[in-house]
C-alpha cells in the first residue's frame, strides 16, 4: 500500500496549526484595570472616587488601601463591603445617619447629610498617617467627596478660587452646588486637631 507524501505533509501542517491555535487559546485574558468613577489622586496615598464596583476591584488592589472613608448617607453595595472585609480594609461610615438625625439635619442642611461635624470626623482621619493609604468615596464621588476635599484644601492653605475650581471639575454638566461651596467656605479649619508628628508628610499647615 503506497502512502502519498503530500497527504502526510498536509496532515502535519494541519496538526501544527491546531497546536498553535491551542497554545493561543491557552493564554489567560489580560487583566483589565479599570478605575472607579471620578477616581483621582488627591495627595500621596490619598485618593477620591465614586462608589467602586466589581470591575474596579483589580484597580483597587493596586492601591493597597488601609482605610475607606464612606461619605454617602446610604450603605455601600454588598459586593463593596465583601471586598473590604476580604482585604481587611477599614471602612469609616462618616455620612450615614439614622432617621432622627436626618430629620434634624434637613432643617440645617437640606441639600445633603454632611455637616461641620461629619466633615471634621473625616478630616481627623485624613490628618493621621496611620490610616494610609486612604480612599474618600461616596455614591458618585462628586458633592460629598468634593466637600471634604474642599475643606482639606482650605486646611492646606489653598485660596477659595482654587478650591472651587477643583470642586467644579468633578461635578460634570450639572455643575456645582452653591451651598456646597458656602459650606466649604464657612467650615472652621481651626476645629481640626493636627499632630504634625503623626500627620502625612505632605500636610503642611501654619
Q: How many residues does the chain have?
A: 206
Alpha carbons 191 and 143: distance in angstroms, whole number = 22
Cell digits of residue 7: 497527504
Alpha carbons 99 and 43: distance in angstroms, whole number = 35
User: Do 111 and 182 touch, CB atoms closer than 8 A?
Assistant: no
Q: Which residues are catalytic?
A: 138
Long-range contacts of 140-143 (CB under 8 A, 24+ apart): 140/37, 140/38, 140/50, 140/51, 141/36, 141/37, 141/38, 141/39, 141/48, 141/49, 141/50, 141/51, 141/170, 142/38, 142/50, 142/170, 142/171, 142/172, 143/112, 143/171, 143/177, 143/180
Cis peptide before 24 (omega within 30 of 0): no
Amino acid at each position: 500500500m503506497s502512502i502519498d507524501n503530500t497527504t502526510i505533509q498536509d496532515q502535519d501542517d494541519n496538526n501544527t496549526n491546531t497546536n498553535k491555535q491551542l497554545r493561543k487559546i491557552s493564554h489567560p485574558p489580560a487583566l483589565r484595570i479599570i478605575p472607579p468613577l471620578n477616581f483621582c489622586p488627591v495627595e500621596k496615598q490619598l485618593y477620591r472616587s465614586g462608589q467602586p464596583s466589581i470591575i474596579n476591584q483589580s484597580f483597587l488592589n493596586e492601591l493597597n488601601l488601609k482605610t475607606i472613608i464612606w461619605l454617602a448617607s446610604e450603605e455601600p453595595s454588598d459586593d463593596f463591603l465583601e471586598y473590604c472585609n476580604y482585604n481587611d480594609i477599614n471602612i469609616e461610615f462618616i455620612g450615614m445617619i439614622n432617621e432622627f438625625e436626618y430629620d434634624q439635619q434637613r432643617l440645617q442642611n437640606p441639600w445633603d447629610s454632611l455637616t461641620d461635624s461629619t466633615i471634621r470626623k473625616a478630616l481627623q482621619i485624613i490628618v493621621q498617617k496611620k490610616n494610609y493609604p486612604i480612599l474618600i468615596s461616596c455614591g458618585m464621588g462628586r458633592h460629598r467627596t468634593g466637600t471634604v476635599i474642599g475643606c482639606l484644601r482650605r486646611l492646606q492653605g489653598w485660596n477659595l478660587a482654587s478650591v472651587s475650581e477643583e470642586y467644579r471639575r468633578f461635578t460634570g454638566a450639572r455643575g456645582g452646588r452653591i451651598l456646597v461651596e458656602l459650606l466649604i467656605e464657612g467650615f472652621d479649619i481651626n476645629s481640626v486637631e493636627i499632630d504634625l508628628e503623626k500627620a502625612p508628610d505632605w500636610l503642611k499647615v501654619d
